[in-house]
Amino acid sequence: MIRSKRSKAADYAIALICVLLIIICLLPMLNVLARSLSSTEAIIRNEVLLWPKGFNFSAYRLVLTDSKYTWSLAWTAILTTICTVVSMVMTILCAYPLTYRQLKGRGFFNTMILFTMYFSAGTIPHYLLYKDLGLLNHPLVLIIPNSLSVFYMIIMRTFFYSIPDSLRESAEIDGAGPIKILTSIYLPLSKPVMATLALFYAVGRWNGFSDALMYMNDRKYHPIQLLLYNILNAVTSIEIQTQEGFASMPGLSDTIQAATVMFATVPILIVYPWLQKYFIAGATLGALKD
């Protein structure tokens, strides 16, 4: 009975901590949302906290009617989709052969792949390499260099290790080749980890802007996060008028910044509910034992 009471108290404490963490995570977003829907006068008077003051959609109308924002959002969605597909293909094709113990040089390949996790040439050598390859100011510079994460590949490889060899051996007896085994056995059993890694790749690409900042001068191919970065650097309304072509209005910069943050954040958040079932499945894998 005492243990039961202690268990309930621990559950309540954990639930309280989770609620506090949720509130801590939500408060900044609620503040940004309130500022994006508030009047410029209320923001100047610093009256906005968690609820909009002088409710209006002027900042969103300005953002949604500006072709720079809509194209940047569309381009970022296209870029994220392409990068996620390419990254998942590269991750699977890199992880799957390493599960074969008879692969010649398997230990060498594993060592060299791990080596790249801890040692990197640096930004300047990367810049010179991309320049020699003709990738500078080309959309491919946002796709190819980061198409494979060694850490995510190791996660995929470890998951492949957990699949019994007997399944592969039985398929080989039936005459299936490596590609058939991959598509018929490994990939169907790997949906949870594939969905998880795909989301990680997508979020990383959606939030990324440093590569575009360093290697992409053409503003047409700037992702939404780089556009947001440029707007957040334009602190005053005069800077916004100069750099983004907006009318100079006191307090307008804060409203537009908040609206742009929401504009860039909400689309990727919508993806999470669609993949929730795969996260649950991934969390419960291996929970049942024979």
Contact 29, 50 (CB under 8 A): no
pLDDT at 239 over 60: no
Residue written as token pair 């080749």 = 177
pLDDT of residue 116: 85
Which tokens go with 55? Answer: 């409710």
pLDDT of residue 110: 86
The string of pLDDT tens digits covering residues 111-157 is: 888 888 888 777 888 889 888 988 888 899 999 888 898 999 998 99
Q: What is the DSSP letter of 222?
A: -
The string of pLDDT tens digits covering residues 188-209 is: 888 888 888 888 899 889 888 8
A 10 A CB-CB count for 145 gives 15
Which tokens go with 40? Answer: 């410029």
Alpha carbons 192 and 63: distance in angstroms, whole number? 36
What is the CA 52 to chain-centroid distance, rounded?
29
Q: Residue ranges of the alpha helices (H) in the chain?
A: 2-36, 40-44, 58-64, 67-95, 106-118, 123-133, 150-162, 165-173, 178-181, 187-189, 191-207, 210-215, 224-233, 237-244, 252-284
CATH class as words, domain 58-284:
mainly alpha
The string of pLDDT tens digits covering residues 150-182 is: 999 998 998 888 888 888 888 888 888 888 888
pTM (two decimals):
0.78
